Amino acid sequence: MSFSYFLSQFYNNLAGILEEKKLLESLKSENFDVGICELFDFTGIPVFEAIGLKNIVGAHTTSCLMEGTAYAIGAPVIPSYMPASQGVTDDSPSLVNRFINILFTFTSWYFQTSIARAAEIAMVEKLGDSATPIWDTVSNMSWILTNTEPLLEFAKPTLHKVIDIGGIGVAKPKPLDEKWHKILSLREHTILISFGSVAASIYMPYEMKVAIVDVVKSYPDVTFIWKYEEPGDSFAAGVENLFLSKWTPQVDLLADDRLTLFITHGGAGSMMESATGGKPLIVVPLFGDQTRNAKLIAKFGFGIMLHKSSLLDRSALRDAIGRALKDERYRKAAHRIRDLLARRPFTPEQNISGSSRVRRQAMRDPNLKWKDAKVNYFFGNAPENLKANFKKAAAAWAKSTCLNIVEDKNAEDKIQVMRGPSCLSAVGRQGKTQGIWIADNCMTVGSIEHELGHALGLIHTHERHDRDTYIDIIKDNIQQQYRSEFGKETSERTNSYEIPYEYGSIMHYNAYGFAIDKTKPVIVPKQDEKYTRTLGGRILSFLDLLTVNKHYDCLGKCGNSIQCANEGFQNPKNCSECVCPTGYGGPTCDKRPPGCGKTVRVSTNARKIDLFVGELKEGQDYKACNYWFEAPAGKKVEVKLLNLKNWANMHGCTLAGVEIKAQADQRHTGYRFCSPEDKGVTLVSSGKRLPVIIYNTGTAFEVTIEYKAV
């Protein structure tokens, strides 16, 4: 069958599906939250487009990303050392290997993109020109699932949206019934033979079957079990140590210590089942990614690769079996892989639930709330500074909410906190064990508070359903692999609790994050561009705390009630005091917060003041000094930034800065500035009082302000 014929049949089949109106209406009526599409045949994407399903997860049944997918999501494809998805080489850097791998890389890419093109033609013809292009859909997917186990893979790039789920289909082994128990007990060694279900053994050339039987006869002290679709075939008649079976309990057999060796085609499922059971393999790859899998098995030392022509060469197969039975290195390597898999910190199921965010997992779903507002955690491979800063982050969320965030490894639902290659958390409670990964570049209290905010149920602020009123997203300047981080939620799936949009939320990205051109922003505040440096701050905002309190029904839990000034709210953790907007303090939010800073009386004569904060607490919580500039009755305060000295200027002013609360709604975070470029900015208060907060964590900071009453 030619490839062009395959493409024409694929097109006809897909076009036929898209004409099945009753089928599509039936699917649409189910109101699916998520659609999962294999990214080799692409049939799912046009179907999901037809029924209006936008939340799509990509998947590869192969053990790695295919080349077209990698390109679409911005993953590097480097043929010089990354074996092609359908390739026949390993990762050894010989010139011949590199040349062959380049050919297979582009061949794999050609096949995949040709199928995608056929799918897109059918989709546009049946659904119209407004249909989203195939590769645009792929590039915007939140997840790409791959049938990969990182412990059994060549070196590859790590991307936040690529989730490895290799082994997710490996069932828990069950005790064997009497039939199989007897077969395994017949001889010291038992070997299982299976070439999968696609290339069934019944279709194997007769000469090849006879050759295999001859090899079986040469090992009379070994029992062979062959998964064969027609057990009554005569070619194996009378061979006492060979059992043909139409079906075998493969996982259960591979988990049994009496099974010694597995002869197989090297499909991803068979490889994982054998690795999980700790069994050496002889791999005879037939097509697809099976040669690549065989190379992996040989690389990790728990198997031998044979070309399929070796099945006709009795001596080659006989010698391979002999080596696998006698050489202890294969058995020891298989046991080592088995033990590593058993000790991995997360199962494939937990990788899905704990390491990524599905957009339906937002705050409206009650199942995502932590039961009784109790959040449990324990530490995995966490260094001491991560442990200390996580506890500070947990305390910051807990002290002004009704949440109880406790270290409890034995709880049913819990968070495992660990060092990782990136900064990740699921949104809300996932059930059982979920992860928070903290990379070295986000091991600060503020960054941990952000990830913990996700675990409590908060989405990114810039993904709110109403975000278009407050910000512009410059999609063309977003790195392709991160575009899914800038999606937009719906009011049906999320709840803003009538809390206004907060530029200073700890859940907001900074203006330049993931930009292609670092000199141009990705997020632009619509209402006032002076909020640009406020975006991406890593200080818990008052409205962040209010959101979590409303989400967990904390407000109103106090038996008594107190009046809070300046729109503060009663603290459910300490009912005798209020939680106050930044810049306000005291039990009822009517005073300047305690500590450094002062109240400055303002007149119509312009004056200057130098504000300085210099205590370095790198990576820890912030030090802040609070100033109140107060004008006479009937006047407002005007301030002008004359000079800013900051030796670590960063987007979001995360290391140090000055916050000026000139906005009318004092619940909001004020305007933040931290760069010498902000010199000359002038602001006028909304009333007679202007709170100004100078803060730092990782660098000293100094600002000179000119002030007067107007």
pLDDT at 359 exceeding the cut of 50: no
Check pLDDT > 50 for residue 215: yes
pLDDT at residue 383 is higher than 80: yes
* Residue 359, Cβ density class (10 Å: 0-12 exposed, 13-18 middle, ≥19 buried): buried
44: nearest Cα among 109, 160, 134: 134
Identify residue 616 by its one-letter amino acid code: L
Percent pLDDT > 90 in the chain is: 64
* Residue 591 token pair: 């005073």
Is 416 buried (19+), middle (13-18) or exposed (0-12) by CB count in 10 A? buried
Kindly report, residue by residue over 569-590, the tens digit of the pLDDT: 999 999 999 999 999 999 999 9
Burial of 24 (0-12, 13-18, 19+ CB in 10 A): middle
Domains of the chain: 3-164 (no CATH), 178-343 (3.40.50.2000), 357-544 (3.40.390.10), 599-709 (2.60.120.290)
pLDDT mean over 90-111: 84
Beta strands in 354-420 (DSSP E): 374-379, 404-407, 414-419
DSSP-derived pairing of the beta strands 189-194 and 259-264: parallel
Q: How far apart are CA 61 and CA 64, in angstroms?
A: 8
Share of the chain above pLDDT 70, in %: 95
Which tens digit of pLDDT belongs to each residue from 655-674? 899 999 999 999 999 999 99
- Decide: 691 and 591 in contact? Cβ < 8 Å: no
Tell me whether residue 208 is exposed, middle or buried, using C-beta atoms within 10 angstroms of its C-beta: 0 to 12, 13 to 18, 19 or more: middle
Q: Where are the beta strands (DSSP E) in 24-118?
A: 35-38, 56-60
pLDDT (0 to 100) of residue 360: 36
Cβ atoms of residues 313 and 306 within 8 Å: no
**What pairs with residue 417 in β-bridges?**
379, 436
| Chain Cα centroid distance, residue 366 | 22
**Mean pLDDT for the chain?**
90
Least confidently predicted of 182-186, 244-248, 621-625, 690-694: 621-625
465 annotated ligand-binding residue: no
Can you tell me the distance from the alpha carbon of 14 to that of 1, in angstroms, rounded to the nearest whole number?
A: 19
For residue range 467-506, what is the model confidence (pLDDT) as tens digits? 999 999 999 999 877 887 888 888 888 889 999 999 999 9
Q: What is the CA radius of gyration of the chain?
A: 31
pLDDT per residue as tens digits for the range 544-564 = 999 999 999 999 899 889 999
User: For 127-143, how does the pLDDT look when each residue is reduced to its tens digit (9 = 90+)?
Assistant: 999 889 999 999 888 78
Cα separation, 187 vs 440, in Å, equals 54
501: amino acid identity, one letter: Y
Task: Answer for the pair 265, 310: CB distance below 8 angstroms, yes or no.
Answer: no
Alpha-carbon span 207 to 551, nearest angstrom:
69
pLDDT of 358 reads 42
Active site includes 451? Answer: yes
End-to-end alpha carbon distance in the chain: 84
The pLDDT score that the predictor gives to residue 362 is 43
**pLDDT bracket for residue 435 (50, 70, 90):** confident
304: part of which helix (H) or strand (E)? strand 303-305
Q: Distance between CA atoms of 710 and 705, rounded to whole angstroms?
A: 15
451, 489, 638, 659: the active-site residue: 451
Q: What is the DSSP letter of 501?
A: P
Is 307 marked as a binding-site residue?
Answer: no
Residue type, 156: K
Q: How many CB atoms lie within 10 A of CB 409?
A: 11
Contacts of 294 (CB under 8 A, 6+ apart): 266, 283, 285, 303, 305
* C-alpha span between 558 and 549 (Å, rounded): 13
User: CA 454, CA 362: separation in Å to the nearest integer?
Assistant: 9
Q: How far is CA 324 from the centre of its chain?
A: 39
In 172-287, beta strands by DSSP E: 189-194, 222-227, 242-245, 259-264, 281-283
pLDDT category at 350 given cuts 50, 70, 90 is low
Supply the pTM of this predicted model. 0.62
Q: Cβ contacts of residue 521 below 8 Å, gap of 6+?
A: 474, 477, 511, 512, 515, 532
Provide the pLDDT for residue 81.
62
- Ligand-binding site membership of 508 (annotated): no
Question: Which of 108-122, 203-217, 428-442, 519-533 is predicted with the least confidence, judged by mean pLDDT?
Answer: 428-442
d(CA 673, CA 659): 7
Q: What is the average per-residue pLDDT within 297-312?
A: 92
The region of weakest confidence among 69-83, 163-177, 691-705 is 69-83
Q: Which of 281, 282, 333 is nearest to 306 (CA)?
A: 282
Per-residue pLDDT reduced to its tens digit, 34-50: 899 999 889 999 999 99
pLDDT category at 343 given cuts 50, 70, 90 is confident
Tell me which residue of 230, 173, 484 sits closest to 359, measured CA to CA.
484
Lowest mean pLDDT among 64-68, 347-351, 516-520, 705-709: 347-351
Residue 132 class from Cβ within 10 Å (0-12 exposed, 13-18 middle, 19+ buried)?
Answer: middle
User: What is the DSSP annotation of 616-670?
Assistant: --TTSPPEEEEEEEEPPTT--EEEEEEEEEESS--TT--SEEEEE--SS-TTS--
590-645 confidence digits (pLDDT tens):
999 999 999 999 999 999 999 988 765 554 567 899 999 999 999 999 999 998 88
Instruction: List Cα–Cα distances, 376 to 166, 413, 435, 450, in angstroms.
Output: 28, 7, 12, 17
Q: Can you give the pLDDT at residue 356?
A: 44
Q: Which of 638, 671, 637 is nearest to 657 (CA)?
A: 671
Stretch 700-707: mean pLDDT? 93
Q: Which long-range contacts (CB under 8 A, 24 or more apart) does 431-436 make?
A: 431/353, 432/350, 432/353, 433/346, 433/350, 433/354, 434/350, 434/353, 434/354, 435/345, 435/346, 435/350, 435/354, 435/355, 435/380, 436/377
